[in-house]
């Protein structure tokens, strides 16, 4: 009998997830991308690499992160559910990681690769600042100089993270081009990289960019799903009915989803940022975009009829990006994962709901996932299990939330 | 012979001039293209503006923004090209830009539209040989040259892959970096051009950071063509709708310098 088709076997050897992904970079970068791929293949075969990665995740990051049954949130959602309905809500607590988000998992993996490749300088882009903080953190830990590109608008709205990065020894360069957000920071990081390929490693923060980045970021983040799968089996003896995760580029979502992709009874829901609504300004590339090429990969993009990239909008700086990782584009087309979108308003409501019911201040990014959980839980039976990724904590967002709620602090 | 091949048969190097379509405005571009020809440009590179020009430095980034703010569309660019072809039947015209605007309506649509507009070739920054399927077959089917880029990071073992499917000419990007002011050492250019010419019969043109007649002449002694971009775009930025005369005057200094740069056979 032939092995069943697997959803976990992507990408192909050229980095394609179906029609998506690939290596759409300038010739200057191409040899470096090929070197990176070779080095990643070698690292994957090297038990010493895995041992160092696992050791750092355990003792430096604080993994495994807990799996938590959100009893009061579950009960609260059941109050408005029909009789017998209202699924159990469980959270993978990646907000408890060192630096307060899932981003550090990937940064540990990539800086170990950079060191393997003999690179002596690190660059990264950041939106909310979580990836920038995580990158600055690992650079401090390994003693490498670090430049973080951040849109000037994001610098303004994420001052605490800017200061954190500086404390950690990183140089933060505010990017004034375009809409002055994550997309523009990525352009500027690519311009830096192309001029410094000889010594510089680019730590991309999400499961996007040219091959092999979407694959290696997914692999480093898959620790989330592997742990969650084992933890839930251990605690309940079963797999979840539904996985839920927020999506900007999609690294926390693919990290949670990937280890479950071949568990056919586990449904999955990715949650994009609908901003002010899908008819207005938003950041939902799958819901409102079309396939195209940007930042090294083919994927769904917010763009006009001429292929000019549209400005994304979300209250969450980490979701404010007009594209999405190519594996999500493929999972959408294949039907394996469902995708929905949640507005700024719904995310703010969910943010406050979690604060009050569980004593957890979530980041605005997973607040989108929590809003989607609140929407779907009441239509699922009480013995059903929803497992959502709480991918970041909300300390960085309190000023944004206060502003949105009209509160002076 | 194609128009592009004809541009390289003289015993002096070809002058290849870049401007961004729609900069400073859609209506101003035709006169600027005419000024390039009047000044002595042998090949015109017309930039297709993109919101995210990640291989470009500040000058061409700003040109992209000016053009998009001015409302330039793909239809405008094709019309500018078609009208240029009618005015200048012999001057080769190459579109240069990024993959997304080129692929938005599909590669076949794009190739057919370029053919109908009389465009001779395409330079696409972010479609390397590894992704040739995205654009190359459609262009080749319509007889449009796909001009490939080689860079200081293109090692000998990779040159074959870069040349496979290349036509028109080979564009040697002399600086590992973005477009603009950084200049390569003449010795490194000479070494790279020699390596490329050893591997191909296609003409080899050199660009990135070329702005003075002296530089153009020095490069022209070893290369088949010299590409000038940011320096022209800066004149357009300074003079706006009145840029034609200063552009033509500047191009004349370059073409005069190349006229006495006898090519040295490799």
Measured distance CA(A246)–CA(A248) in Å, rounded? 7
Chain B segment 158-177 residues within 8 A of A by beta carbon are: 158, 162, 173, 176-177
Q: What is the mean pLDDT of residues B75-104?
A: 98
A362 bridge partner residues: A393
Measured distance CA(A379)–CA(A382) in Å, rounded? 9
- What is the reported pLDDT for B265? 52
**Residue A203 domain flag:** yes
**Residue B265 domain flag:** no
Asked if A309 lies within 8 A of B98 by C-beta distance, the reply is no
B211, B207, B127: which is closest to B173 by C-alpha?
A: B207
Burial of residue B265, with CB atoms counted within 10 A of its CB: 0-12 exposed, 13-18 middle, 19 or more buried: exposed
| Confidence band, pLDDT 50/70/90 cuts, at residue A2 | very low
**Residue B106 domain flag:** yes
Q: What is the mean pLDDT of residues A59-87?
A: 98
Query: Which of A157, A192, A217 is the last residue in one of the domains?
Result: A217
Same domain, A94 and A111: no
**What residues of chain A lie within 8 A of the CB of B98, using their CB?**
293
Same domain, A162 and A193: yes
Kindly state whether B71 is in contact with chain A, defined as any CB-CB distance less than 8 angstroms.
no
Closest Cα in chain B, distance from residue A185 (Å): 10
A309, A294, A307: which is closest to B104 by C-alpha?
A: A307
Kindly state whether B100 is in contact with chain A, defined as any CB-CB distance less than 8 angstroms.
yes
Please say whether the beta carbons of B12 and B63 come within 8 A.
no
Count CB atoms within 10 A of the CB of residue A38: 12
A4 pLDDT more than 70: no
**Residue B169 domain flag:** yes
For residue A25, the chain B residue with the least C-alpha distance is B126
Asked if A24 lies within 8 A of B149 by C-beta distance, the reply is no
Beta-carbon contacts below 8 Å between A and B: 114
Same domain, A181 and A236: no
Q: How many residues does chain A have?
A: 409
Above pLDDT 90, what percent of chain A?
92
Same domain, A128 and A143: yes
* From A14, A28, A307, residue closest to B100, measured CB to CB: A307
Going by C-beta distance under 8 Å and a sequence separation of 6 or more, which residues neighbour residue A406? Answer: none
Residue with tokens 């002596």: A120
Residue with tokens 């015209």: B93
DSSP 3-state of A244:
strand
**What residues of chain B lie within 8 A of the CB of A26, using their CB?**
55, 125-126, 128, 149, 151
**Residue A389 domain flag:** yes
Please say whether the beta carbons of A131 and A123 come within 8 A.
no
**What residues of chain A lie within 8 A of the CB of B125, using their CB?**
26
HSE at residue A77, side-chain half, CA atoms within 13 A, is 28
Please say whether the beta carbons of B97 and B50 come within 8 A.
yes
Asked if B100 lies within 8 A of A293 by C-beta distance, the reply is yes
**Residue A5 domain flag:** no
Average pLDDT, chain A: 96
Domain that holds residue A394: 64-100+222-404
**Residue A347 domain flag:** yes
| Confidence band, pLDDT 50/70/90 cuts, at residue B105 | very high
Q: Of A180-189, A231-240, B246-255, where does mean pLDDT reach its minimum?
A: A180-189
Same domain, A325 and A338: yes
- What is the reported pLDDT for B263? 59
**Residue B70 domain flag:** yes
* Number of domains, chain A: 2
**What residues of chain A lie within 8 A of the CB of B148, using their CB?**
27
Same domain, A108 and A92: no
- What is the reported pLDDT for B27? 97
Same domain, A123 and A205: yes
A1 pLDDT more than 50: no
Measured distance CA(B2)–CA(B7) in Å, rounded? 9
**Residue B266 domain flag:** no
DSSP state, A65?
Answer: P
For residue range B165-218, what is the model confidence (pLDDT) as tens digits?
A: 999 999 999 999 998 878 889 999 999 999 999 999 999 999 999 999 999 999
For residue A297, the chain B residue with the least C-alpha distance is B126
Q: Of A154-158, A257-261, B127-131, where does mean pLDDT reach its minimum?
A: A154-158
Asked if A26 lies within 8 A of B104 by C-beta distance, the reply is no
**Residue B191 domain flag:** yes
- What is the reported pLDDT for B121? 98
- In the sheet that holds A290-294, the strands lie side by side as A16-17, A20-24, A296-301, A290-294
**What residues of chain B lie within 8 A of the CB of A295, using their CB?**
52, 54
- What is the reported pLDDT for A3? 47
Asked if A293 lies within 8 A of B73 by C-beta distance, the reply is no
Q: Tokens standing for B21?
A: 């379509």
For residue range B18-47, what is the model confidence (pLDDT) as tens digits?
A: 999 999 999 999 999 999 999 999 999 999
Mutation target vs B (from A300, A306, A321; most B CBs, 10 A cutoff):
A306
A271, A256, A374, A268: which is closest to A319 by C-alpha?
A: A271
Measured distance CA(A26)–CA(A216) in Å, rounded? 20
Q: Tokens standing for B192?
A: 């790279």
Going by C-beta distance under 8 Å and a sequence separation of 6 or more, which residues neighbour residue B129? Answer: B148, B161, B162, B164, B165
B264 pLDDT more than 70: no
Same domain, A231 and A363: yes
* Number of domains, chain B: 1
Same domain, A230 and A114: no
Q: Tokens standing for A358?
A: 């569980």
Give Cα separations from A181 to A96, A217, A303, B56 (angstroms). Answer: 26, 21, 16, 18
**What residues of chain A lie within 8 A of the CB of B177, using their CB?**
28, 191, 194-195
A179 pLDDT more than 80: no
* From A28, A295, A305, residue closest to B173, measured CB to CB: A28
Asked if A187 lies within 8 A of B173 by C-beta distance, the reply is no
Asked if A28 lies within 8 A of B101 by C-beta distance, the reply is no
Q: Tokens standing for B7?
A: 């541009």
Measured distance CA(B100)–CA(A25) in Å, rounded? 12
**Residue B39 domain flag:** yes
**Residue A24 domain flag:** yes
Q: Looking at residue B38, which CATH number applies to its domain?
A: 3.20.20.70
A243 bridge partner residues: A268, A387
Kindly state whether B112 is in contact with chain A, defined as any CB-CB distance less than 8 angstroms.
no
Closest Cα in chain B, distance from residue A34 (Å): 11
DSSP 3-state of A73:
helix
Kindly state whether B151 is in contact with chain A, defined as any CB-CB distance less than 8 angstroms.
yes
Query: Which of A169, A186, A217 is the last residue in one of the domains?
Result: A217
Query: Which of A191, A217, A243 is the last residue in one of the domains?
Result: A217
Going by C-beta distance under 8 Å and a sequence separation of 6 or more, which residues neighbour residue B40? Answer: B15, B251, B252, B254, B255, B256
**What residues of chain B lie within 8 A of the CB of A28, using their CB?**
55, 151-153, 173, 176-177
Residues of chain A whose beta carbon is less than 8 angstroms from a beta carbon of chain B are 14, 22-32, 177-178, 183-184, 186-187, 190-191, 194-195, 197-198, 292-296, 298, 301, 303, 305-309
**What residues of chain B lie within 8 A of the CB of A306, using their CB?**
73-74, 101, 104
B2, B9, B1, B37: which is closest to B203 by C-alpha?
A: B9
The ipTM of this complex is: 0.96
**What residues of chain A lie within 8 A of the CB of B51, using their CB?**
178, 308-309
Please say whether the beta carbons of B175 and B183 come within 8 A.
yes
* From B61, B153, B177, residue closest to A31, measured CB to CB: B153
CA B93 to chain centre: 9
**B53 — phi, psi (to 5°)?**
-80, 75
Measured distance CA(A274)–CA(A283) in Å, rounded? 6
Q: Give the active site residues of B.
A: 45, 56
Kindly state whether B126 is in contact with chain A, defined as any CB-CB distance less than 8 angstroms.
yes
- What is the reported pLDDT for A158? 85
Full 3-state SS string of chain B:
CCHHHHCCCCCCCEEEEEEECCCCCCCCHHHHHHHHHHHCCCEEEEECCCCCCCCCCHHHHHHHHHHHHCCCCHHHHHHHHHHHHHHCCCCCEEEEECHHHHHCCCHHHHHHHHHHHCCCEEEECCCCHHHHHHCHHHHHHCCCEECEEECCCCCHHHHHHHHCCCCCCEEEECCCCCCCCCCCCHHHHHHHHHHHHHHCCCCEEEECCCCCHHHHHHHHCCCCEEEECHHHHHHHHHHHHHCHHHHHHHHHHHHHHHHCCCCCCC
Please say whether the beta carbons of A201 and A116 come within 8 A.
no
* From A183, A197, A305, residue closest to B52, measured CB to CB: A183
- What is the reported pLDDT for B266? 45
B150 bridge partner residues: B172
Average pLDDT, chain B: 95
Beta strands in A132-194 (DSSP E): 146-151, 171-175
**What residues of chain B lie within 8 A of the CB of A37, using their CB?**
none
Q: Tokens standing for B212?
A: 């003075």
Same domain, A71 and A112: no
Give Cα separations from A223 to A101, A219, A407 (angstroms). Answer: 13, 8, 38
Domain that holds residue B96: 3-259
- What is the reported pLDDT for B180? 86
For residue A299, the chain B residue with the least C-alpha distance is B100
Same domain, A253 and A388: yes
Q: Looking at residue A240, which CATH number applies to its domain?
A: 3.40.50.1100
Measured distance CA(A127)–CA(A109) in Å, rounded? 20
- What is the reported pLDDT for B1? 64
| Confidence band, pLDDT 50/70/90 cuts, at residue A315 | very high
A45-62 burial code (b ≥16 CB/10 A, e <16): eeeebeebbeebbeeebe
Mutation target vs B (from A125, A293, A309, A326; most B CBs, 10 A cutoff):
A293
**A340 — phi, psi (to 5°)?**
-135, 180
Asked if A308 lies within 8 A of B162 by C-beta distance, the reply is no
For residue range A216-236, what is the model confidence (pLDDT) as tens digits?
A: 999 999 999 999 999 999 999
Same domain, A172 and A318: no
Q: Tokens standing for A4?
A: 């069943």
Measured distance CA(A115)–CA(A109) in Å, rounded? 10
**Residue A319 domain flag:** yes
Taking the CA atoms of B209, B211, B216 and B217 in sequence, report the sign of the dihedral they define: negative
Mutation target vs A (from B52, B166, B181; most A CBs, 10 A cutoff):
B52
Q: What is the mean pLDDT of residues A279-290?
A: 97
For residue B125, the chain A residue with the least C-alpha distance is A26
**B8 — phi, psi (to 5°)?**
-110, 10
Q: What is the mean pLDDT of residues A366-386?
A: 98
Asked if A303 lies within 8 A of B100 by C-beta distance, the reply is yes
Whether the full predicted model's pTM is greater than 0.90, yes or no, is: yes
């Amino acid at each position: 009998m032939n092995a069943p088709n697997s959803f976990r076997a992507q990408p192909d050897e050229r980095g394609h997830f179906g029609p998506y992904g690939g290596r759409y970079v300038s010739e200057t970068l191409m040899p470096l991308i090929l070197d990176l791929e070779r080095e990643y293949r070698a690292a994957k075969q090297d038990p010493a690499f895995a041992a160092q990665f696992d050791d750092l995740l355990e003792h430096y990051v604080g993994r495994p992160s807990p799996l938590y049954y959100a009893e009061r949130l579950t009960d609260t959602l059941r109050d408005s559910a029909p009789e017998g309905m209202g699924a159990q809500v469980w959270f993978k607590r990646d907000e408890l990681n060192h630096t307060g988000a899932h981003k550090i998992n990937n940064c540990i993996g990539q800086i170990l690769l950079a060191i393997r490749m003999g690179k002596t300088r690190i660059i990264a882009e950041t939106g909310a600042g979580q990836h920038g903080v995580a990158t600055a953190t690992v650079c401090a830990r390994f003693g490498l100089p670090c430049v973080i590109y951040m849109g000037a608008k994001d610098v303004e709205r994420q001052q605490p993270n800017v200061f954190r990065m500086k404390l950690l020894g990183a140089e933060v360069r505010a990017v004034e081009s375009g809409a002055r957000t994550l997309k523009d920071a990525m352009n500027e990081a690519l311009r830096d990289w192309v001029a410094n390929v000889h010594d510089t490693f680019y730590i991309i923060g999400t499961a996007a960019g040219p091959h092999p980045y979407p694959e290696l970021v997914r692999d480093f983040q898959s620790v989330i799903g592997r742990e969650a799968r084992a933890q839930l089996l251990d605690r309940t003896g079963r797999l979840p009915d539904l996985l839920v995760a927020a999506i900007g580029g999609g690294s926390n979502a693919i990290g949670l989803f990937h280890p479950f992709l071949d568990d056919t009874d586990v449904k999955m829901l990715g949650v994009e940022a609908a901003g002010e609504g899908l008819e207005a300004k938003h950041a939902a590339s799958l819901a409102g975009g079309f396939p195209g090429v940007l930042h090294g990969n083919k994927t769904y993009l917010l763009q006009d009829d001429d292929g000019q990239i549209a400005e994304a909008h979300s209250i969450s700086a980490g979701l404010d990006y007009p594209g999405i990782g190519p594996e999500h584009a493929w999972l959408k087309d294949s039907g394996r994962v469902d995708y929905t979108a949640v507005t700024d308003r719904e995310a703010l409501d969910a943010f406050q709901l979690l604060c009050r019911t569980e004593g957890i201040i979530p980041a605005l990014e997973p607040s989108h996932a929590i809003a989607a959980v609140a929407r779907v839980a009441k239509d699922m039976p009480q013995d059903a299990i929803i497992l959502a990724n709480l991918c970041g904590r909300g300390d960085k967002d309190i000023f944004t939330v206060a502003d949105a709620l009209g509160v002076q602090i | 012979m194609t128009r592009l091949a004809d541009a390289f048969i003289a015993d002096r190097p070809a002058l290849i001039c870049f401007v961004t379509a729609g900069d400073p405005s859609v209506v101003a571009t035709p006169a600027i293209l005419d000024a390039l020809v009047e000044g002595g440009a042998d090949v015109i590179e017309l930039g297709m503006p993109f919101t995210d020009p990640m291989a470009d430095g500040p000058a061409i980034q700003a040109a992209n923004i000016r053009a998009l703010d001015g409302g330039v569309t793909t239809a405008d660019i094709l019309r500018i090209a078609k009208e240029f072809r009618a005015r200048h039947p012999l001057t080769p015209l190459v579109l240069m830009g990024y993959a997304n605007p080129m692929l938005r309506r599909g590669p076949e649509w794009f190739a057919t539209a370029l053919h109908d507009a009389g465009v001779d070739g395409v330079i696409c920054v972010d479609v390397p040989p590894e992704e040739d399927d995205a654009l190359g077959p459609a262009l080749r089917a319509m007889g449009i040259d796909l001009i490939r880029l080689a860079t200081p990071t293109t090692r000998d073992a990779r040159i074959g892959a870069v040349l496979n499917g290349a036509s028109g000419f080979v564009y040697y990007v002399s600086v590992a970096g973005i477009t603009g002011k950084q200049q390569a050492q003449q010795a490194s250019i000479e070494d790279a051009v020699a390596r490329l010419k050893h591997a191909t019969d296609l003409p080899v043109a050199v660009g990135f950071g070329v702005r003075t007649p002296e530089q153009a002449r020095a490069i022209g002694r070893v290369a088949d063509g010299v590409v000038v971009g940011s320096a022209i775009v800066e004149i357009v930025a300074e003079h706006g709708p009145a840029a034609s005369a200063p552009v033509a005057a500047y191009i004349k200094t370059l073409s005069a310098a190349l006229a006495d740069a006898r090519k040295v056979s490799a």
